[in-house]
Amino acid sequence: MSPSSLPWAHVPQISPQISPQISPQISPQISPQISPQISPLISRRTALVALASTLVAAACGGSGPGGPGPSPSPPPAGPARLTLNGSQMLLPSGAPILLRGMNEGTWGEMRSTDAATMAVQGARVVRVLIRWWGLYGGTDVESRLDGSPGHFDPAHLAQFLKEIQWCLDAGLWVIPAIDSNCGQNGLQNAGMVAYCDPSGRFPGGHNFWTDLTQRQLFKEAWVHLAGLLRTKPNIAFYELLPEPLAGRDAAAAAEVSAFYQELMTAIEEAAGDTRTPFLVGARDAYNINLCDEAYIAAPRWANRVVYTGNLFIHPNGTQAQNLATLDARLGALAAMKASRNVPVFIQQFGVRTAEDPGQFYLEAGLSRMNAAGIGYTGWQWRQNTSSPDEYAVVLTDADTGLDVVKTGVLDVYSKSWKA
């Protein structure tokens, strides 16, 4: 910016009537003739131009009489977040990342050393869940407590944040999720119906679509949680509500999408978090074959949303049939990634060890996801059972209380994570 462009730098010009007397320049011999008429004008112009030059230099970071002034401090860097660019997830450095890791598993089972162990094995991400309004196996799992901040049981919320911190301390990315068996559906079984709708007032299920008061409370829970997490590094994305509206038809697709967008808006506007991406999925409990229904076309959410679907393997046919089913289901998510140019991620992948004792299908699924460039979290690290037949990688011996690691399963996961 030149000094003359500043409104306060405009000064009177020398009149044309007197300029011939001093053209081409004012000599010492004639300067007494034009002073006092011209000298005040020249002095005023010189002073103002000098002042303007000094102020412009200061505004542009230039040197003053005392030498270079201090440079303004850059704004503090925000906590590390992924950036979404088309179908890619990018690290803060700009490098692409394929997130692969594990679900922490059953509430209350995670140990302080688990995250570091997963990291050593090659994992990059852990999905950590808190359960809010629902009937769950085991005792003291329900974390909802109306009247407390965020409608969370303070002890449960503290445990949840501690588990997240264990993962962050191990250098892992974290996917926080609030699970709600009532909110997502409420009709899973007779026990769930009785818990979610004890008065029998909601024949279509007591959930976030049939009871807007519960929906508002859940939204407030997310705003509270996002307010706590927005300053923590390495939060990969917020998983807003797993497995919505199981068994519902296509009419529910728009309802699920509107619900997710309502939560995203609240998190951005009320919690002030406009950087952390969101993870959403389709109706019918994250039915991966319906994943494209979850696509949100609103420009506001471009490069803000990751899309997901469940990929559990149930090998109840021939090997060829089972692999064909796996390929078709994974192919649906891969097709969405390519056609919509959006990032995708499988937040629950797994097969029960009893159905896959040699880890054939486990390896088949992991290798196919790697080949498709689709990240995932396996189900699950620990589980509230001592049975080796279930999904968990680590069991607790019922007699000794010691950990029992299913080394064959862990080896297959570790190989995939390091690929």
The 10s digit of each residue's pLDDT in 265-295 is 999 999 999 999 999 999 999 999 999 999 9
Reduced to 3 states, what is the DSSP secondary structure of residue 90?
Answer: strand
Query: Under the phi-then-psi rule, with left for phi > 0, alpha for psi from -120 to 50, and beta for the rest, what region is 105?
Result: left
Beta strands per DSSP E along 171-260: 173-179, 238-239
- Residue 228 contacts by C-beta under 8 Å, 6 or more apart in sequence? 161
Beta strands per DSSP E along 121-184: 125-131, 173-179
For the cut 90, the answer to whether the pLDDT of residue 26 exceeds it is: no
| Phi, psi angles (nearest 5°) of residue 103 | -80, 135
Percent of the chain at pLDDT > 70 equals: 82
Q: How far apart are CA 351 and CA 365, in angstroms?
A: 9
| Phi, psi angles (nearest 5°) of residue 349 | -130, 140
For the cut 80, the answer to whether the pLDDT of residue 47 exceeds it is: no
Averaged pLDDT, 192-201: 97
Maximum pairwise Cα distance, the chain: 114
pLDDT confidence band for 81 (50 / 70 / 90): very high
**Cβ pair 187, 249 in contact under 8 A:** no
For the cut 60, the answer to whether the pLDDT of residue 24 exceeds it is: no
| Phi, psi angles (nearest 5°) of residue 398 | -65, -25
Query: Under the phi-then-psi rule, with left for phi > 0, alpha for psi from -120 to 50, and beta for the rest, what region is 359?
Result: left
Alpha helices in 242-318 (DSSP H): 252-269, 283-286
Instruction: Quote the pLDDT of residue 74.
Output: 59
pLDDT confidence band for 70 (50 / 70 / 90): low
Task: With residue 362 as reference, give the H or E element that holds it.
Answer: helix 360-372
pLDDT confidence band for 348 (50 / 70 / 90): very high
| Structure token pair of residue 149 | 């901040």
**Cβ pair 362, 373 in contact under 8 A:** no
**Cβ pair 306, 344 in contact under 8 A:** yes
Instruction: Quote the pLDDT of residue 71.
Output: 63
- Residue 93 contacts by C-beta under 8 Å, 6 or more apart in sequence? none
Instruction: Quote the pLDDT of residue 15.
Output: 37
Distances in Å between the Cα of 134 and the Cα atoms of 106, 212, 336 are: 14, 17, 31
Q: What is the dihedral of CA 83, 221, 285, 345, to 10 degrees?
A: 20
Domains assigned to the chain = 3-62 (no CATH), 83-418 (3.20.20.80)
Alpha helices in 170-211 (DSSP H): 181-184, 190-196
DSSP letter assigned to residue 235:
B
pLDDT confidence band for 69 (50 / 70 / 90): low
pLDDT confidence band for 384 (50 / 70 / 90): confident
Q: How far apart are CA 64 and CA 347, in angstroms?
A: 58
pLDDT confidence band for 45 (50 / 70 / 90): very low
Instruction: Quote the pLDDT of residue 75.
Output: 58
Q: How many C-beta atoms lie closer than 10 Å to residue 306's C-beta?
A: 24
- Residue 246 contacts by C-beta under 8 Å, 6 or more apart in sequence? 184, 185, 187, 188, 284, 285
| Structure token pair of residue 33 | 């003739």
Q: What residues pair up with 376 in beta bridges, in sequence order? A: 100, 346
For the cut 90, the answer to whether the pLDDT of residue 60 exceeds it is: no
